[in-house]
Amino acid sequence: MRCGVLRADRVVVNKARREMLLLRGESVLRSYRVAIGREPVGHKEREGDGRTPEGRYVIDRRNPKSRYHLSLRISYPNEADRARAQELGVKPGGDIMIHGLKDGLPREDDWTQGCIAVTDEEMDEIWSLVAEGTPIVINP
């Protein structure tokens, strides 16, 4: 971490607004426009549904060798997600990330399989501001 840079103590994603906020206390450190899953409405229910999960999770892993520049893994599925998928008789899916672009190519639409995407430059900044263990809330 760079000297003097405050790290975020939580991340909030508002899917309907296509925004991600990095917060420290009540202060917004950074705000980003994001792309989300190709099926943007609703909570992720199953592997391959193209939806971004909704709920409370945590950043649980960092991947410096991501195919999408850099990535931070979101702890989906949680216990409730696994139980819901089991009731439906489906796999919940997983490997939901905050990541950069594939091959550095920007896109205007919602294009991910359920992840949250930003530009590679933004991902560099997020990487330096968000540690493992940081809570993330994903709102509809």
Which class for 136: exposed (0-12), middle (13-18), buried (19 or more C-beta within 10 A)? buried
Which class for 31: exposed (0-12), middle (13-18), buried (19 or more C-beta within 10 A)? exposed
Q: What is this structure's pTM?
A: 0.92
Enter the DSSP assignment of 5: P
- The reply to whether 132 falls in a domain is yes
- The reply to whether 71 falls in a domain is yes
Q: Tens digit of pLDDT for each residue in 19-71?
A: 999 999 999 999 999 999 999 999 999 999 999 999 999 999 999 999 999 99
Length in residues, the chain: 140
CATH of the domain at 67: 2.40.440.10
- The reply to whether 41 falls in a domain is yes
Nearest to 120 by CA among 137, 139, 98: 98
DSSP string covering 7-72: PPSEEEEEGGGTEEEEEETTEEEEEEE-B-BSS-SS---STTS-PPP-EEEEEEEEETT-TTSSEE
- In angstroms, rounded to a whole number, what is the distance separating the alpha carbons of residues 110 and 113? 9
- The reply to whether 92 falls in a domain is yes
- The reply to whether 40 falls in a domain is yes
Domain encompassing residue 101:
10-139
The pLDDT score that the predictor gives to residue 95 is 94
- The reply to whether 5 falls in a domain is no
- The reply to whether 29 falls in a domain is yes
**Residues labelled catalytic:** 99, 115
Q: For residue 135, what are the β-bridge partners?
A: 58
107 confidence band (pLDDT: 50, 70, 90)? confident
Instruction: Say how many domains are in the chain.
Output: 1
- The reply to whether 117 falls in a domain is yes
